[in-house]
Amino acid sequence: MFRNLACLGALGLTLSIHLSLTFAQSEPAYPARRITYIVPSTPGAGADFPPRIIADKLSKSLGQPVVVENRPGASWTIGTEYALRQPADGYTILHVAQIHALNPSFMPKLPYDPIKDFDAITHAVSTIFVMTVHPSVPAKTIQEFIALARANPGKYTYGSVGSGSSHHLGGALLESMTGIKMLHVPFKGGSQIVQALISGQIDATFISVFPVTKFIQSGKLNGLAVTTTFRSSLLPEIPTMEEAAGLKGYDMDVWQGVVARAGTPRPVIARLNREINAIVKDKTEAQRLREVGYEPAGTTPEQFTELMKAELAKWSKIIKEADIKPE
């Protein structure tokens, strides 16, 4: 009797292995064809640089073409909606940025949920902003600037690329945490902000470290504090807001990452996470990113999901408090 049971058990195990192998053989290894990498910004824009690096190296590591397809417009929603309409099979991935978590606050009828409708892959890079002032402003530290602004509500101006932009939010967060009041001045682009600041038309701005590094190093502008919780490799001497002024919790990280449509197989998400993290953490690629103002990240999908959830909650509060309306 026991011999018969043993035989039946062995037969069942053999059959199970056979069925598993048959199933595995019926499923082609990922990836078996081209992957489309949707980038919802214009070609050549600042946010277009990291996905180009990722796509190039990912093509080599996966052994299949990874083609960047720019679909800009409507604050990144056109490309995002397009990605959401594609099959959840890992052959269409989407580049996202901070605006992904801001759009629900600006667009009450957003046709998708930025968290529930997408599976996080990784937080790829961060863009560090720095609060920069004209030398005529009598403040050498962020503490001194806060004291000046507090004593002169609405006197000091800061430039941005528009209402609701990261530049604007950097100032709104500082106002929220310190109670100061500044005058927001929108411009059409980052280069116009830098020109206006150098000429003294505005007093300050919150801007990516890359376009102002040489002006800060030459003394034409003063960098008071970076907006992230970690320092910039381009301007390592400039402290964070918390280090300089004790503003614990001040964090304006203009992050970028990669997601896929919700329901994408977990092994596919895991493979993409592993490969993309290896790219951004590679010594050569990390240096290329740092040279233009990006700091490599590389997280688990779960960590990136939590980051996006926290960003959505934080900025919706700040945007509501400051009554910020998109242009």
**Is position 3 within any domain?**
no
Please give the Cα distance from 213 to 293 (Å, whole number): 9
Q: pLDDT (tens digit, 9 = 90+) per residue, 190-218?
A: 999 999 999 999 999 999 999 999 999 99
Domain encompassing residue 135 = 129-245
pLDDT at 183 over 80: yes
Same-domain check for residues 198 and 56: no
User: Mean pLDDT throughout 29-55?
Assistant: 95
User: Mean pLDDT throughout 17-30?
Assistant: 51
Between 148 and 20, residue with greater pLDDT: 148
**Is position 225 within any domain?**
yes
Please give the Cα distance from 245 to 280 (Å, whole number): 31
**Is position 2 within any domain?**
no
Q: pLDDT (tens digit, 9 = 90+) per residue, 59-89?
A: 999 999 999 999 999 999 999 999 999 999 9
Please give the Cα distance from 172 to 169 (Å, whole number): 5
Confidence of residue 119 (pLDDT cuts 50, 70, 90): very high
Same-domain check for residues 58 and 158: no
Please give the Cα distance from 211 to 223 (Å, whole number): 12
Boundary of a domain, candidates 193, 210, 245: 245
* pLDDT for position 108: 87
Q: pLDDT (tens digit, 9 = 90+) per residue, 48-67?
A: 999 999 999 999 999 999 99
Contact (Cβ atoms closer than 8 angstroms) between residue 296 and residue 306:
no
- 327, two tokens: 């242009």
Confidence of residue 22 (pLDDT cuts 50, 70, 90): very low
Confidence of residue 44 (pLDDT cuts 50, 70, 90): confident
* pLDDT for position 9: 44
* pLDDT for position 20: 40
Boundary of a domain, candidates 245, 262, 284: 245
Domains of the chain: total: 2
Average pLDDT taken over every residue of the chain: 92
Same-domain check for residues 68 and 212: no
CATH of the domain at 315: 3.40.190.150
Same-domain check for residues 288 and 278: yes
Please give the Cα distance from 299 to 292 (Å, whole number): 21
Q: pLDDT (tens digit, 9 = 90+) per residue, 222-267?
A: 999 999 999 999 999 999 999 999 999 999 999 999 999 999 999 9
Please give the Cα distance from 229 to 135 (Å, whole number): 25
Confidence of residue 326 (pLDDT cuts 50, 70, 90): confident
**Is position 23 within any domain?**
no
Same-domain check for residues 219 and 281: no
Same-domain check for residues 269 and 135: no
pLDDT above 70 covers what percent of the chain? 91
Single-letter amino acid code for the residue at 141: T
Please give the Cα distance from 250 to 180 (Å, whole number): 15
**Is position 269 within any domain?**
yes
Per DSSP, the residues of 229-260 read SS--SSSTTSPBHHHHH--TT----EEEEEEE
**Is position 287 within any domain?**
yes
Q: Which long-range contacts (CB under 8 A, 24 or more apart) does 105-108 make?
A: 105/312, 105/315, 105/316, 105/319, 105/320, 106/75, 106/164, 106/319, 106/325, 106/326, 107/75, 107/77
CATH of the domain at 156: 3.40.190.10
Please give the Cα distance from 307 to 296 (Å, whole number): 15
pLDDT above 90 covers what percent of the chain? 88
**Is position 146 within any domain?**
yes
Confidence of residue 16 (pLDDT cuts 50, 70, 90): very low
Per DSSP, the residues of 282-293 read SHHHHHHHHHTT
Contact (Cβ atoms closer than 8 angstroms) between residue 256 and residue 41:
no
Confidence of residue 28 (pLDDT cuts 50, 70, 90): low
**Is position 18 within any domain?**
no
User: Mean pLDDT throughout 103-110?
Assistant: 94
Boundary of a domain, candidates 245, 263, 293: 245
